[in-house]
Structure 1
Amino acid sequence: MKLHLTTAENNNLITAYSDSYIEINKQRYGQNLIVMPQTIVLDWHAENVSSLENNHFQEIIKLKPEVVLLGTGKTHLFLHPKNHQILTEHGIALECMTTAAACRTYNILMSEGRLVAAALIL
């Protein structure tokens, strides 16, 4: 699905997504990743939602976002609080949603100037 926001003022904009890729600034990536307005982390070692634990969020903590949007794939899933407790300890909110919803929400929050991270699982 193509997204319609056309400018991101030199920030990372999610321009399209599907079940097999995420497109950021018109460049396609076929792996799970983390995107923030000024950063893309391509070596996020999350295999799937059920494997996520506190250590998977260490890279995100270093980036110091206000909120993390966890894209859980096609299905909306929630993490047990113990699996993301480290984010709470650092004052970082976590919102779980489908990856499609996380892509759309990321673009909105990023365009508002929010320091948002989208941790996206295909």
Structure 2
Amino acid sequence: MKLQPDQFDVQSITAYGEGWVAINGEKHAGSLIISSQGQRLSWPVSRFEDLTEAHFEQLADIDCELIVFGSGRRNRFPPAAWLKALMARRIGLETMDTPAACRTYNILAQEGRKVAAALLIEGGEPAQP
């Protein structure tokens, strides 16, 4: 019996490494936001220390039920005050290092969940607004 891998009609993170991530085989060197609904946005930040409340307000405009935040090389949490806009829209946020966020996003997206990933790519080229 020949087995075929499952095919999904959502954006998938197909690879990642130091300073980059590949979405459906297309390599990106800057931080970005992707969603299982097809959105792909640049996220103009390259260091955790440069994040502000405005970066998380941008996430509140995404049509999803959960955002997986990849906080870079290690797990770091944003201040709770920065999450007001997400809480107001009843959007959950899970924080983990970026490699774990890539894997978690793929699992949830392939399950058909309305999920987004906000991926901080440290060491890559800064994304342009």
> Which bracket does the TM-score occupy, shorter chain normalised?
0.7 to 0.9
Q: After TM superposition, which residue ranges in structure 1, 4 or more long, deviate above 3 angstroms? A: none
TM-score (norm 2): 0.82
What's 1:80 paired with? 79
Residue 92 (str. 1) matches residue 91 (str. 2): yes
What's 2:106 paired with? 107
C-alpha RMSD over aligned residues: 1.5
TM-score (norm 1): 0.87
Hey, what's the Cα distance between the residues in 1 that align with 2:11 and 2:23?
A: 6
Unmatched 5+ stretches in structure 2? 122-129
- Aligned ranges for residues 1-122 of structure 1 at < 5 Å? 8-37=7-36, 38-42=38-42, 44-122=43-121
- Structure of higher RCO (CA pairs closer than 8 Å, 6+ residues apart): 2
Unmatched 5+ stretches in structure 1? 1-5
* Residues 20 and 30, structure 1, Cα contact 8 Å, conserved in 2: yes
Q: How many residues align?
A: 116
* Residues 74 and 99, structure 1, Cα contact 8 Å, conserved in 2: yes
Percent identical? 34
Structure showing greater radius of gyration is 2
State the one-letter code of the partner of 1:115: K
